[in-house]
Amino acid sequence: MTPGDTPPIVTVEGLVQIYSIEGQDVAALSGVILTVQRGEIVALVGPSGAGKSTLLNVLAGLMSPSAGRVRLAGHELSAKNAAVLDRARGSDFAVLLQDVTRNLLPYLSVRQNVELGWPKSVRAGIDIDGILDIVDIAPDLRPQPVRAISGAARQLTAIAATLATNPSVLLADEPTSSLAGAEVRAVTDAILRANRELGTTVIAVTHDLDVATALDARIITIRDGRIRMDARAGNTLVSIREDGSLPLPDDVLGQFPAGTQVTVRPGEDADTFVVRRAGGDDHR
């Protein structure tokens, strides 16, 4: 599924999240602006401590933002009370927690875990085996208790259980972090098939750029609580900040290191401006 002309499924404006530690305020998010279109796969990447998990937790409604606005799958998150949010989280959007055991009941079978999320209303066109086929769990594993299956199969079961609630958006925190090699590939393939066959929008935190690439994702790089880069299919988008500064993509920063003096002037048309190294050539 490709992003269409419909309104964004996720809109984040001016998001700020401040933690207080021993009387000191730490800004984990400092004015995040983000829109995600229906059907996109977005990878949130960046160094440890950048604010990725905080952003995912705020998007999931697991944490109220200090300031800003979050709209996700038709819900204005900051305006919801906990009960409404819990219902929305179980249907319009789903959260795959990093610790896979928290997503599942280990003594129930794979199939029973997926049945738990099945909506009361009949879903057209797909049944539980259809969901298990999408994540590619072999039929002989389906009656097995979750505690008896491999880590990768557990993660696939957790993905199937979240898909069973028919979410528009799947929020996943490091979905491959405890896996390696072919197991990682099994999980990225399952997420890709969910996106393509069910139209599920996916926002996944990952520290692994190979995972982002395998998901053919729009890659959003977060650093110091801000979106630093937004890259899709070879194009990198950066946003001019409120103070007028512009976070340069790494390749440009390699060419124009911090401290380089440049002149800036409007270009020949409304879509261009010209940056020139003091005494150097134009860069548009």
Minimum Å gap between C-beta 5 and ligand ADP is 32
**Residue tagged 């528009």 (tokens):** 168
For ligand ADP, the binding residues in 38-57 under the rule CB under 6 A are 46, 48-54
Query: Judged by CB, which is closer to ligand ADP: 58, or 137?
Result: 58
In the bound state with ligand ADP, the residue whose beta carbon lies nearer, of 28 and 179, is: 28
CB of 10 to ligand ADP, least distance (A): 17
CA distances from 13 to 16, 51, 226, 232, 248 (A): 9, 16, 12, 21, 21
215 close to 55: Cβ distance less than 8 angstroms: no
Minimum distance from residue 46 beta carbon to ligand ADP (Å): 6
Euclidean distance between CA atoms 65 and 68, whole angstroms = 7
- The contact mask relative to ligand ADP for 167-186 (x = CB under 6 A, - = no) is --------------------
Burial class for 50, CB neighbours closer than 10 Å (0-12, 13-18, 19+): buried
For residue 222, the minimal CB distance to ligand ADP (Å) is: 6
Which string of DSSP letters, residue by residue, matches 227-254?
EEEEEETTEEE----TTS--PPPHHHHH
* Contacts (CB under 6 A) with ligand ADP, residues 150-169: none
Q: Does 26 bind ligand ADP (CB under 6 A)?
A: yes
Residue 84, interface with ligand ADP (CB under 6 A)?
no
186's CB contacts (< 8 A; 6+ apart) are: 136, 152, 156
Compare residues 112 and 178 and give the one whose CB is closer to ligand ADP: 178
* Total chain residues near ligand ADP (CB under 6 A): 12
CA-nearest of 172, 186, 236, 178 to 214 is 186
The distance of closest approach from Cβ of residue 174 to ligand ADP in the complex, given in angstroms and rounded to an integer, is: 9
Q: What angle do CA 186, 154, 86 make, to 5 degrees?
A: 110
- Closer CB to ligand ADP, residue 1 or residue 18? 18
Return the structure tokens found at 136.
Answer: 């590619």
Compute the least distance from the CB of residue 48 to ligand ADP, in Å.
Answer: 4
CB nearer to ligand ADP: give 59 or 149.
Answer: 59
99 binds ligand ADP (CB under 6 A): no
Range 210-239, binding ligand ADP (CB under 6 A): none
Q: Within 10 A of 53 (CB to CB), how many other CB atoms are there?
A: 17
Using DSSP's 3-state secondary structure scheme, residue 55 falls into helix
CB of 243 to ligand ADP, least distance (A): 21
Binding region for ligand ADP (CB under 6 A): 19, 21, 26, 28, 46, 48-54
